[in-house]
């Protein structure tokens, strides 16, 4: 820390992203990226947009918001486009959390939530998941704060139904409920159809997972016009050109190729069932995942050992130090071939 670093950030503990090693080629199953390249339409659209990089990107993101508006059946004014969904989440913490509206989330979830609370000087309260890693909806009724829930949940993959989410939203009517749907396309039920009914609901989604565009950094939020206007006040006070023009065009391109996205999601779900089944045969337990990853725990080998042994063998998975899940590894679902290598390597480790 330099002697100039502001005191207001001296206790900030930054988010630690999963490794993106450049030294050797790994089978990368550690950051929930898609194993499939983006649609050819997205690539072509980005290349065309690159020819006009001397111009600023469209601060209104009109073409992409129109495409999203058609896909999700909401008005353009109900959509905010952001630099990854992380930015939408940060804007939501800035806009809707303060001393009177502390952020409330689960004890095991996306690690960025407490960081956003911290950088925005907002109190953060954790409600523990059940022993089986599910969320008990009633634990989140009348929370007295801004509720931030990933559904399906991060790290566990466990999903609540739309009806269960609706009850949480209904019973927190004096606070915003942020539903982070980064993984919804892999078997979850989206809350987007509820935004017409609840003015306190903000749904956040991303192009990073199901749409194979993690490197483009593109996310969006859907809510009432009023919530979106608040978020735009924050966005225009921060960076009106928050999304670059190549990414905006790629986003429009990929939305025009929904068949590819759907086919990729189906493949991931099939590979998830295959992997879960093989892992169970090898003595792993895991909560049922509705996401593109599995949180698996072995009865006799701990998570850190598995993580290190797999890395030595060229397979990267994610290991967390959080006490409740430090015995587990989080495995991103890749291609069938990648999952076969993973299973073979794990079998080899267990036999040793």
Ligand X SMILES: *Cc1c(COP(=O)(O)O)cnc(C)c1O
210 binding ligand X? (CB under 6 A): no
Q: Binding residue for ligand X (CB under 6 A) from 39, 57, 85, 245?
A: 85
Yes or no: say if 35 and 335 are a contact pair by the CB < 8 Å rule.
yes
Name the residue nearer to ligand X (CB basis): 249 or 345: 249
The interface with ligand X within residues 29-68 (CB under 6 A) comprises 32
Name the residue nearer to ligand X (CB basis): 181 or 297: 181
Label residues 122-155 b or e (16+ Cβ within 10 Å = b): bebeebebeeebbbebeebeebebbbbbbbbbbb
Q: Binding residue for ligand X (CB under 6 A) from 84, 114, 188, 287?
A: 84
Torsions phi, psi for 315 (to 5 deg): -120, 120
Tokens of 66: 């129109």
The interface with ligand X within residues 189-208 (CB under 6 A) comprises 206, 208
Name the residue nearer to ligand X (CB basis): 17 or 314: 17
Q: What's the half-sphere exposure (Cβ side, CA atoms, 13 Å) at 122?
A: 28
Beta carbon of residue 289, minimum distance to ligand X (angstroms, whole number): 13
Beta carbon of residue 293, minimum distance to ligand X (angstroms, whole number): 9
Beta carbon of residue 32, minimum distance to ligand X (angstroms, whole number): 6
Helix (H) or strand (E) holding 44: helix 40-50
Beta carbon of residue 309, minimum distance to ligand X (angstroms, whole number): 25
Site string for ligand X, 211-230 (x = CB under 6 A): ---x----x-----------
Peptide bond into 152 cis (omega under 30): yes
Residue nearest to ligand X as judged by C-beta position: 84
Beta carbon of residue 110, minimum distance to ligand X (angstroms, whole number): 4
* C-beta atoms surrounding 300 within 10 Å: 7
* Contacts for 329-332: CB closer than 8 Å, 24+ residues apart: 329/295, 329/296, 329/297, 329/303, 330/30, 330/155, 330/293, 330/294, 330/295, 330/296, 331/29, 331/275, 331/293, 331/294, 331/295, 331/296, 332/28, 332/29, 332/30, 332/31, 332/32, 332/33, 332/292, 332/293
The interface with ligand X within residues 90-129 (CB under 6 A) comprises 110
Binding footprint of ligand X, residue count (CB under 6 A): 13
Beta carbon of residue 85, minimum distance to ligand X (angstroms, whole number): 4
Q: Which stretch in 78-86, 119-127, 257-265, 295-303 sits in contact with ligand X by CB under 6 A? A: 78-86
- How does DSSP classify residue 129? P
Site string for ligand X, 154-173 (x = CB under 6 A): x-------------------
Residues that bind ligand X (CB under 6 A): 32, 84-86, 110, 150, 154, 180, 182, 206, 208, 214, 219
């Amino acid at each position: 820390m330099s002697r100039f670093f502001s005191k207001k950030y001296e206790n900030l503990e930054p988010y630690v992203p999963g490794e993106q090693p450049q030294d050797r080629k790994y089978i990368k199953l550690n950051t929930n990226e898609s194993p499939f390249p983006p649609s050819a339409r997205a690539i072509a659209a980005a290349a065309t947009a690159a020819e006009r990089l001397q111009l600023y990107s469209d601060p209104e993101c009109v073409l992409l918001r129109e495409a999203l508006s058609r896909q999700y059946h909401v008005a353009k004014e109900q959509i905010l486009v952001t630099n990854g969904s992380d930015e939408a989440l940060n804007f939501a913490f800035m806009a809707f959390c303060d001393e009177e509206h502390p952020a409330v989330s689960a004890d095991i979830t996306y690690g960025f939530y407490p960081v956003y609370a911290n950088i925005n000087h907002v109190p953060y309260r954790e409600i523990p998941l059940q022993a089986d890693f599910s969320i008990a909806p009633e634990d989140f009724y009348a929370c007295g704060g801004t509720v931030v829930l990933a559904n399906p949940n991060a790290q566990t993959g466990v999903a609540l139904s739309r009806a269960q989410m609706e009850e949480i939203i209904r019973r927190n009517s004096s606070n915003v409920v942020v539903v982070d749907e980064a993984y919804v396309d892999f078997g979850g039920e989206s809350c987007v159809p509820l935004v017409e009914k609840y003015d306190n609901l903000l749904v956040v989604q991303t192009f990073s997972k199901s749409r194979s565009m993690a490197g483009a950094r593109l996310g969006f939020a859907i809510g009432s016009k009023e919530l979106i206007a608040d978020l735009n006040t924050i966005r225009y006070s921060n960076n009106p050109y928050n999304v670059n023009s190549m990414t905006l065009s790629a986003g429009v391109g990929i939305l025009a190729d929904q068949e590819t996205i759907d086919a990729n999601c189906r493949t991931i779900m099939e590979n998830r069932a295959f992997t879960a089944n093989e892992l169970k045969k090898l003595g792993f337990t895991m909560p049922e995942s509705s996401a593109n990853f599995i949180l698996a725990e072995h009865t006799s080998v701990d998570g850190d050992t598995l993580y290190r042994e797999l890395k030595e063998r060229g397979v990267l998975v994610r290991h967390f130090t959080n006490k409740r899940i430090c015995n587990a590894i989080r495995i991103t679902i890749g291609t069938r071939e990648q999952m076969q290598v993973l299973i073979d390597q794990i079998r080899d480790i267990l036999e040793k």
